[in-house]
Amino acid sequence: MNAIFRTFVVAAALILGLPAVAADEVNVYSSRKEELIKPLLDRFTAQTGIAVNLVTGKEDALLQRLKSEGANSPADLLVTTDAGNLYRAKAAGVTQPLVSDALSTAIPAVFRDPEGHWVGLTMRARPILYVKGKVDPATLSTYEALAGPDFKGRICVRSSDNIYNQSLVASLIAANGEAATETWARGLVANLARPPKGGDRDQIKAAAAGECDIAIANTYYLAGMLTGKDPADRTAAESVAVFWPNQDGRGTHVNVSGAALTAAAKHKNAAVQLVEFLASPESQQWYAQENGEYPVRDGVAVSATLTAWGPFKADSLNLARLGELNAPAVKLMDRAGWK
């Protein structure tokens, strides 16, 4: 916020007898694409007068930048996807506890770092997607079952260097132990229809094209294809259906996009205020309607697309465990031959 506008705000408050709004700014490093976060940042600025300076980039590049900048970093907040990435930032020492009673009340503990270094802002699930007419959903049950002989040559999934898959495997380690999960991973690799390649959308497209019958992908990508402008994407997405695995047990694996207060934050109060805004019912509903992501707080309406997939039981594992178990998950996937 420039000096002229700051003076105007304070003067207007005095003239109108209103409490002066403390002019401030927040510097955000975000791995989320600009169109997926800037509309909310603009709303925040309009409501509070706090300017938000946004820098976008890849997850690893932003983390390396924070590490290189150290105490001189201008960043106040890191906004990124996957609890694994949030854990890496904490482990690298570039975050600090984000203290907020409002966030502790609004966001369930499973979506927050136990030591307060990050909070989830949106939830996405990673279910089983199956081709309509080729797969009887009655034959599906759990992630574990996908390693069985019935699914030989029928599965598409992206590579093991993807954090989403690493977190899925970490959740399986938490549930079943490392040895059983390695056996599962070897079985899954043996059942792949093709070597892993591309992103989640590519797995869905491959299933639609007949390369496989089943894909593992985040709901966020499926929703984006169903509601996007590309007719080919919509057609591909419409050819698959969502199956929620492990509903009789721990529940479907979920993850988050989230925010962390940087260790070098110079605008802590404004940064916390922004995170509280992003966790507000207003912002949560925007995410659910516009981005195809599930709210992390209860009582927020979701889009027609998400509603059509039906309710599901989510794994209640604290997502910090996904980061803690990332290293053994990666090693396990390597041993299993998951390319």
Q: Count structural domains, the chain.
A: 2
313: Cβ contacts below 8 Å, ≥ 6 apart: 244, 246, 247, 251, 252
Shared domain for 248 and 295, answered yes or no, is: no
Residues 158, 211: one domain? yes
Would you report the helix, strand and coil content of the chain in percent, each value rounded to 5? Answer: 50, 15, 35
- 260 shares a domain with 246: no
Give domain status of residue 308, yes or no: no
CATH of the domain at 208: 3.40.190.10
H-state helical runs in 209-295? 219-227, 231-238, 268-278, 281-286
* pLDDT tens series, the chain, 339 aa: 444 334 333 333 333 333 333 458 999 999 988 888 899 999 999 999 999 999 999 999 999 999 999 999 999 999 998 999 999 999 999 999 999 999 999 999 999 999 999 999 999 999 999 999 999 999 999 999 999 999 999 999 999 999 999 999 999 999 999 999 999 999 999 999 999 999 999 999 999 999 999 999 999 999 999 999 999 999 999 999 999 999 999 999 999 999 999 999 999 999 999 999 999 999 999 988 888 899 999 889 898 999 999 999 999 999 999 999 999 999 999 999 999
Q: Is 72 exposed, middle or buried (0-12, 13-18, 19+ CB in 10 A)?
A: exposed
Answer yes or no: do 91 and 147 share one domain.
no
Residues 190 and 219 in one domain: yes
Give the pair of three-digit tokens for residue 118: 């990050």
In angstroms, the CA 90 to CA 239 distance is 40
Q: Are residues 239 and 140 in the same domain?
A: yes
Name the pTM for this structure.
0.88
Structure tokens that stand for 332 in this block: 């396990």
Q: 222 with 262, same domain?
A: no
Helix (H) / strand (E) element for 332: namely helix 326-335
| 19 contacts 67 by C-beta, under 8 angstroms | no
Q: What is the DSSP letter of 138?
A: G
Q: Are residues 321 and 221 in the same domain?
A: yes
Three-state secondary-structure class, residue 23? coil
| Structure tokens belonging to residue 41 | 């940042």
Statement to judge: residues 235 and 292 lie in one domain:
no
Residue 60 falls inside a structural domain = yes
Domain of 45, in residue numbers: 3-123+256-302
